[in-house]
Amino acid sequence: MHKIRVSKKGQLLYKFGMEILVASIIVLTFLGVAYSYGSGEAIVKLRTARDIALTIEEMYLIPNGINTFVRYPEDASKFDIVVKDGTVSVSAVGNDVTEAVYGFAASTNHPPLSVVIKKPKELYIGKISSRIIISDKKPDLKELRCPEIKARSEIRNILIDSGLDESEDIEKAKLSNYIASSLIYNLKKDFNAEHARNQDENDIANNPLALVKAEIDKKVENADAVIRIRIGENQDKSNNIKVYFSPDSAKKDEIKALGCIMLNNLVKDEALDKITGTAIIPEKNEPILNNDKISMVIEVGNYLNPDSLDMLKDANAIRAISSSVYETIKPQKDEETK
């Protein structure tokens, strides 16, 4: 764990035992990739219709308010696709007037689907808020609706946890530490640029310390905000950014609002255009959230997704994450807090 403070130096390593992860976003493995149906056109049309139908059903299962999408990995550019009345119809372009039809269980909790796409060069299926999106254009991860912050907490001392666990893969741990260290560096630089500092009273640094549990608890107690950075690890090959908070926190409304603002800022940055989804998720089983601070876990990317790994190693992407975090929770200037 690292600590950024206005009045005292410090960095610490916080080791957790077994993590209990919330299964939050269902992202999909297309049957067309997993199984071989054959190469005849009729078979390909049926496979495409079935893939789309089953993907729509999976999207219905994702909670409203979570924005995510997937790109269909097969070539559908030879087909016209119609989604309507609980069915997906796929027909070939040209003289072939036959079509493949596959049904799906329509949801009464979502607006009815009526989509026609002709010869799509790319095909995307997703969920934005409560709407299912089927499009030949990459969906825009629209801004989440953020609640108003009625009373903003004064944040002066910020504790950064790199999320390291001695049971983790060493390369994953190194990457997590790199992201946390970059965040610390950028937070320090941005703070120094915006705030007048007294060398004795307002020094910010992160010196490595070997702290026992009691000392860790004291550091958390003295912080105004606690942020844990961790890297996601999902077999579904998604590439999401998620904010976790404690539903039992007295400041949960403020934390949710800050997390929402942070995610909205993140998806606007071109350096993070590989992000496929965002979410704010309650989590009761993360020890670092169990306090009365502005505490959140930010889970970035997917360690099992090569595209996500490239993003997490890119300095521009890390800078984008750091800037969004800073702009969201930065210490208020003296004139703003009076």
Q: Identify the structural domains of the chain with CATH numbers, from first to last.
A: 2-25+145-337 (3.40.630.40), 31-61+66-135 (no CATH)
Question: What does the DSSP 8-state code read for residue 21?
Answer: -
Q: How many residues does the chain have?
A: 338
**pLDDT at residue 307 tops 80:** yes
Q: How far apart are CA 216 and CA 153, in angstroms?
A: 22
In 49-157, the DSSP E strands lie at 67-71, 79-84, 87-92, 99-103, 114-118, 124-128, 131-135
The pLDDT of 155-168, averaged and rounded, is 70
pLDDT of residue 194: 59
Q: pLDDT grade, residue 149 (50/70/90)?
A: confident
When pLDDT is averaged across residues 168-192 and rounded to a whole number, the result is 77
CB 238 within 8 A of CB 277: yes
pTM of the model: 0.59
Q: Which residue has the higher pLDDT, 10 or 211?
A: 211
Cβ atoms within 10 Å of 148's Cβ, excluding its own: 6
> Percent helix, strand and coil across the chain, each rounded to 5?
30, 20, 45
What 3-state class would DSSP assign to 125? strand
Q: Is the pLDDT of residue 117 over 90?
A: yes
Return the amino acid letter for 264: N
pLDDT band at 103 (very low <50, low <70, confident <90, very high): very high
Q: Is the pLDDT at 286 greater than 80, yes or no?
A: yes
Of residues 154, 179, 213, the one with CA closest to residue 12:
213
Locate 86 and state its tokens. Answer: 């609980």
Please answer whether residues 336 and 156 qualify as being in contact, where contact means their C-beta atoms are separated by less than 8 angstroms: no
**More confident site: 209 or 118:** 118
The mean pLDDT value for 233-251 works out to 88
